[in-house]
Amino acid sequence: MPPRFSIILITFDSSRFLGPVLASIKEQTGKNWEAIIVDQASQDDSLEIVRRWGSGDERVRIIENPTNIGFCAAVNQGIAASRGETVLFLNHDAVLDPRYLELALAVIARDAQIAAVQGKVRRYDFSADEDERALTRIDTTGLVMLKSRRIIDRGQGEEDHGQYNAPGEVFGVDGAASFWRREALEDIRLCLEDRCEYLDEDFFMYKDDVDLSWRARLAGWKIVYDPACLAWHQRGSGRSAARSPLEIVRERSAINAFAKYHSWKNARLLVVKNELAANALADLPWWLTKEIASWLYVLFAEPATLRAVGETLRLLPRAIRKRRLIMARRRVSSRDMHKWFR
């Protein structure tokens, strides 16, 4: 009998995180799981830690890549090797509550149109003493798409006082611990020539969760937040809930050049692939303001990121081809989609 849950974990020099992360997998009350761990040529002892952890456990399979092929390609490897009816994408710095799988499955089982479940994710500090690592500050309760097409994590940085204790639909699911129905992943995958991708490998990494959520929404699937599904995440670089220009600039300055490069590129590819013309026109003032500010900032404060312009142009023809696939399976109106842009 195939497993009910497939857990996909990508490791790349992840040894400082793996102890609590791996322990949280084996503590799951939903026992019928398999773990597909894809190592990206780690130079630390990540692979040895994973081998010891999975030794003698037939539920654990390890894929060893000789080079770092990119986060998205590695996740696709994991999905292709998996057999579960649901798939959990687990970041190497995310820790699960013991009932995460069990409760997320219960959410999906309520409605055949639910593609993915977003749990309440709080912050985690791997450097703290063991009993002080799990924090009460929120990391994310789901993705929010602004009219400018900037994406933010709902509630990020706020103390958890129960303000996000109501379950309900969200635009998208954050990739730290995203729980997907396999049927939905198969429905929205992108196949060009003889190759199919779940996560868009042109992204390499960053914003792949936004793209997957947007595709699911366009195809008519639901994405649901349930606070009973609890996890913790030590966020490195990535989205924030900042909205003021000064906050955005301050937080962006803390992101490494690699992340800035791929984030800038992928933000443009996202729009090319998934945007609807009517919604683009409706929100043009917000989008144009953000784009002008982004270009000016990169030109004068972050010129190294301009390398991403050439790569974006190189990938544009393939993004347009992927757009045709996405739009061919679109099942929602522009109006239904536009309600998610705040």
The pLDDT of residue 112 is 98
The pLDDT of residue 193 is 85
Tell me the one-letter amino acid at 318.
R
Domain boundaries, the chain: 5-233, 245-338
Is the model's pTM score more than 0.95? no
Q: In 125-267, which ranges are E strands? A: 134-140, 143-145, 151-153, 168-169, 177-181, 190-192, 195-197, 222-233
The pLDDT of residue 86 is 98
Give per-residue pLDDT as tens, 300-321. 888 888 899 999 999 999 999 9
The pLDDT of residue 268 is 96
The pLDDT of residue 277 is 97
Among 50, 60, 122, 52, smallest CA distance to 92 is for: 50
Residues of the chain with pLDDT under 70: 236-246, 248-249, 252-254
Nearest-5° Cα angle at 325, 114 to 333: 55
320: which 2 tokens? 């347009």
The pLDDT of residue 240 is 57
From CA 69, how far away is CA 223, in angstroms rounded? Answer: 29
Domain 5-233 has CATH 3.90.550.10: yes
The pLDDT of residue 18 is 97
State CA 241 to chain mean position distance.
Answer: 16
